[in-house]
Amino acid sequence: MFNSLVPFPCFPCGRNKRRTIPLLQNQQLLRHRDLHRRPTPAATAHLPLNSLTLSFKMDTSWMSLPRATTEYENGLDKFLDFIFSTEGKNGQISCPCIDCSNQIWVDREEARTHLQCVGFIKGYRIAPFISESCETPMLDAEDDMQGLVHDAFNGFGENIHENEIGTQNESQSMPNTNAKKFYKALEDAKKELYPGCKKFSVLSFIIRLFHSKCIGKCNDKGFSMMLNTLREAFPYASIPKSLYDLRKIIRELGLSYDKIDACPNDCMLYWKENSKKTECDICHTSRYKANENDPDDELTIPDTDKKIKKIGAKVLRHFPLIPRLQRLFMSSKTAASMRWHEESRTKDGYLRHPADSPAWKTFDFNYPDFASESRNVRLGLASDGFNPFRTMSVSHSTWPVVLMPYNLPPWMCMKQPYFFLSLLIPGPSAPGNNIDVYMEPLVAELQELWDINGVETYDASTKSNFQMRASLLWTISDFPAYANLSGWSTKGKLSCPCCHKHTKSQRLTHGNKYCFMGHRRYLPGDHAFRKDKKSFDGTKETERQPRGLTGSEVLDELNGFEIKFGKLVKTNPDLPFNWKKRSIFFELPYWKTNLLRHNLDVMHIEKNVCDSVVGTLMNLDGKTKDHLKARLDLQEMGIRPELHPKVQNNNKVYLPPACFSMDKKEKDIFCRVLKKVKVPDGYAANISRCVELKPPKLFGLKSHDSHILMQQLLPIALRNVLPKHVRYPVMKLCRYYKQLCSKVLNPNDLVQMENEIGKILCDLERIFPPSFFDVMVHLSVHLASEAKLGGTVHYRWMYPIERYLSTLKSYVKNRSKPEGSIAEGYLAEECLSFCSLYLSSDVETIHNKTSRNYDDGGFEDILPIFSMSGRPIGATVVEILDLDILAKAHSYVLFNCSEVDEFRTTSDECSS
């Protein structure tokens, strides 16, 4: 058999990445691919002219636009209409996307998905489709600054323009402040950068400059020096004098934020009816910083009449949500995408998007008036603390609250340009359970957005106003923050919020911690494990799987309790079970009916489970769950006597080797496998750097390293180590997490996963000591159940949020005012993200960045079968093939080159 390997993609079979398989292993493989190809000589990008194409006129400028734009989608639909009407065969065409490269025949829906997700092959031209007499307009060949200004002031600008003209004609009154801003921005958008300049207006040049600064991460001093140099070189151009002046111009196109003073002990906010108070109602601490004893709001500078405003001891920064949601609809670039979940989503029963989930559909069923308007917004909320100084030597915890709109399609809604920073809670200490105090402005906005009247908003895609409403589906956080947002403490014997008061735990005397081993409850009632005392904790299991609490049941448990917030408050009543408070989100009328109010974070759970598994198997110091205290707990529980510690004659304690511990040879095999692993660029970090061979150990694994190790590498590395009864349950656990993290989930598979995970954890209970089963391992049993309610984990885990926190850290330029730096940096990035939608398509922005290793569509002047995507690297090696290999390669071309199909068909007809 010929051992050379070739890429052999088959998209219709669901393989979404290129696979490498033996060339011409058998004829069935060729027939398999031919099932998805239609014999036609028109398989290249340059199809022959015919009478239909000569009279057809098509604009191709949309092909260079960002694929998330409305213009691209509209152009794509027109292209597909034309290509299927002229060149389609039995409802299929050769797909011109980057991956298919005109070699795979697909139907319209699949072609649209490919071209929307990955785009056209580089250099793709449809010139043969266009009449030579047709002059194709180049849309977006220049920056659309007037469109930017009108969208930035939409719902106001056009009306103001008309009203102001009428008013000035009648009474010659001056425009108001907002109208002046609009006219000034419009003037800058029309004004040439210098006399005779056709490429740049004043506004487009300023935005391009600021865009280059942000994309290139240029510091303020270097950028100011460049501005000075440009002004000296081009004195006749309208270039801002300083970075400050440039930011003032751009700020008019962006949005602002509010500063709200807070009690330094997290007791209350000074807003609404409390905005004039100067001390806290609960702890009576001053509102302002120390050394300022003047009771007035302002201080008088000695020997002058000047007054300065007092500085709040703690300042919450609130970024209003409503105008940011309105801007999504006001912008012609994003308005249509806000209806994607209803108009363009694939509805086949599989879970791909939150709109496919039972949580979303149940909400629509409960509130049909809300669901009747597809433009009403569904939101997710995420929060976590981070150290803005990028160093652990300084203790500081800043807590942002981030919102993401789920109306958008998958390639937009979990991307940073569409995240909304709603609140920035200052440090240096975390708010803890007092986070509800800081949530009050956001909850007030959500209540306003839920009101039946909504908020009047202009929709640029339909050019009409509508009453926008919004709802909060769930929260996303790590496990400690889960407690702060939900009110259920994630510590102690009842630390599982899903099992709540029915959590089954046991205190380990020697380990001084709780273990969670009651997973036999998740087995069928007649399962043999339920009566097996010897292999488990020495007891029979008769209980059933606990059911989660509904919102109404939570309110019933907390009814009648009143909680005061603040670090100094010590008089709060003792709440039942593990409750610490009633979450502020219950002030939202719909919150109690939500199926999934708070999400368990798969990212951190998987990380902790992976560390426990690898650390215990390899007996790593500080990571293993098998140690003297764990063995003493086994001895006290009276189970697994073969592992009990033994005291030798010299009074030393001997720990018998466990079946799950690798010996020296197995550790060496395990580490060598991981040391030799090579993955595609960008797929994962270089895990081999975390592997040490002498002595064999793993160290420094990050969350994504654990993700790849758990789902891809660990099952491979364990194949030749450890007994089967040990490695098989571990491999099944890896498969469970891999299925859980799929981009498309089958509800039937999730039911099966729910049943399997209980059995997997029971198998692990028979192997590992009780100390292994901390709350993180236990939470694995609930992940499939949550996926049934909320859909795929990619919209509900912390990976995109953690990356966003890293972006927020990069905004810190003034270490003495980290929150202020983050706020200003966020406003600049938010404005830039909006403005970059209107830049010409040849400018690289955060919306149209090419991949790090972009492979073009190959050569255009040869047959497609020889024009594979990719760029050669390394030295060229010339090999001379023998006749047998040459014959097989020749056969491969005959069976897979569509240009030969016509002649092969003719030959078959002649021979018959």
Taking 70 as the pLDDT cut, the residues of the chain under it are 1-59, 61, 122-143, 150, 153-183, 186, 291-308, 392-393, 841-842, 853-862, 867-872, 904-912
Q: What residues contact 369, with CB distance under 8 A and at least 6 apart?
A: 452
Whole-angstrom Cα distance, residue 606 to residue 780?
A: 8
pLDDT, residue 299, reads: 55
Helix, strand, or coil (residue 507)? strand
Alpha helices in 676-774 (DSSP H): 703-708, 714-717, 724-740, 747-765
pLDDT, residue 303, reads: 58
Query: Are the C-beta atoms of residues 126 and 79 closer than 8 Å to each other?
Result: yes
- The tokens for 578 are 């593990």
H or E segment and range at residue 213: helix 202-215
Q: How many CB atoms lie within 10 A of CB 879?
A: 6
Q: What residues contact 265, with CB distance under 8 A and at least 6 apart?
A: 280, 282, 283, 285, 566, 567, 568
Q: Measure Cα distances from 419 to 324, 415, 486, 543, 807 in Å.
A: 10, 7, 22, 44, 12
H or E segment and range at residue 380: strand 377-383
Query: Are the C-beta atoms of residues 630 and 769 closer than 8 Å to each other?
Result: yes
Whole-angstrom Cα distance, residue 867 to residue 852?
A: 21
Query: Are the C-beta atoms of residues 912 and 902 closer than 8 Å to each other?
Result: no
pLDDT, residue 365, reads: 96
pLDDT, residue 716, reads: 94
- 3-state SS string for 417-466: HHCEEEEEECCCCCCHHHHHHHHHHHHHHHHHHHCCCCEEEEECCCCEEE
pLDDT, residue 320, reads: 95
Domain boundary assignment for the chain: 37-140+851-870, 145-253, 602-795
pTM for this predicted structure: 0.79
Angle at 291 between CA 285 and CA 295, to 5 degrees: 60
**Residue among 286, 282, 287, 294 nearest 259 (CA):** 287
pLDDT, residue 570, reads: 85
**Residue among 832, 707, 113, 9 nearest 410 (CA):** 113
Whole-angstrom Cα distance, residue 108 to residue 119?
A: 15
pLDDT, residue 2, reads: 35
Query: Are the C-beta atoms of residues 779 and 517 closer than 8 Å to each other?
Result: no
pLDDT in tens, 732-767: 999 999 999 999 999 999 999 999 999 999 999 999
